[in-house]
Amino acid sequence: MSLDLTPYPAIGSALFVKLTTFNSTGVDEVITFTDYHRSFDLDGTTYTGLGQFMTITETASDLRATNAELTITLSGIVTSTVDLAQDFDLKGSTIEIYRGIFDPTTMTLLSITGNPAGRFIGYVVNYAIDEEYDIAARNSTISVALICSSTVGLLQNKLSGRATNPWEQRDLYPGDAGMDRVPNIANANYNFGAP
């Protein structure tokens, strides 16, 4: 959906990230944050303002869906809280990123159709935790990088379809013995009419 920004000589923008992951008990957890300088309510959901503590790698804005990857880096995390990141099942989490267009003077979200616009939909395929140690201050901070692959990229690598073997048949339909004998008959010899 396109945004009509022609009436505005200047605009501001911010990215809003919605991460749906699972905690250690398998319960869905939705984590929302933004690189806006303060927390912001969007469609009834509060996005925690991280400001410059959140960065997203640049990607090309294509006219069609592409398989581009991007990395979201959350820095300045206190070391005592890094174990919280490991409590969550980050790999496989769904991630949605929206771009909100703001009035640079009032810093309010512009009331135009399609704002905020969808920017990226995908899954977290990997994550990395880096530690930055400050020798002078004798403390360290943690950066968590989420490597995300778009849905299109995952589809390109996806394999689907049912093979003619009992394992895949029973995986889909437990108890269905229709393919049970395929391993036995594969390349088996027969003698039609032999006494």
Partner 1 sequence: MSFGSIISGLGSMVGGLFGGGIGGTILKTAVAGFSLYAISNSIKKSNTEKTAAESQNQVPKPTQNPIKNEGTIKADQNAKIPVIYGTAFTTGLITEAVMSNNNTRMTIVYTLSEKTGVKLSDGTASTFALNEVFAGEQRLVFDTSGALAGIQVAYSTDTSGNQDKSMSGVVRVYFYNGNSTSPQAISGYGLGTTSNAYDVVPGWTSSHAMNDLIFAVAQFDYNPDKGMTSIPEMKFRVQNTMTQPGDVMNDYMSNTRYGAGIPAGEIYSE
In the complex, the residues that contact partner 1 under the rule CB under 8 A are 121, 151, 155, 158, 160-165, 172-173, 175-183, 185-195
Query: For 118-158, where are the alpha helices, taking DSSP H only?
Result: 151-156
Nearer to partner 1, 64 or 158 (CB): 158
Q: How far is the CB of 155 from partner 1 (least distance, A)?
A: 6
Dihedral sign computed on CA atoms, order 75, 117, 59, 5: negative
- CB nearer to partner 1: pick between 129 and 155: 155
Q: How far is the CB of 34 from partner 1 (least distance, A)?
A: 23
In this complex, which beta carbon is closest to partner 1, that of residue 21 or of residue 169?
A: 169
- Compute the distance between CA of residue 17 and CA of residue 149 in angstroms, rounded to an integer: 14
Structure-token pair, residue 145: 């990088």
Q: How far is the CB of 15 from partner 1 (least distance, A)?
A: 20
Q: Tokens at residue 59, please?
A: 């990607």
Task: Please provide the DSSP assignment of 148-161 as one string.
Answer: EEEHHHHHHT----
Distance in Å, CB of 191 to partner 1, minimum? 5
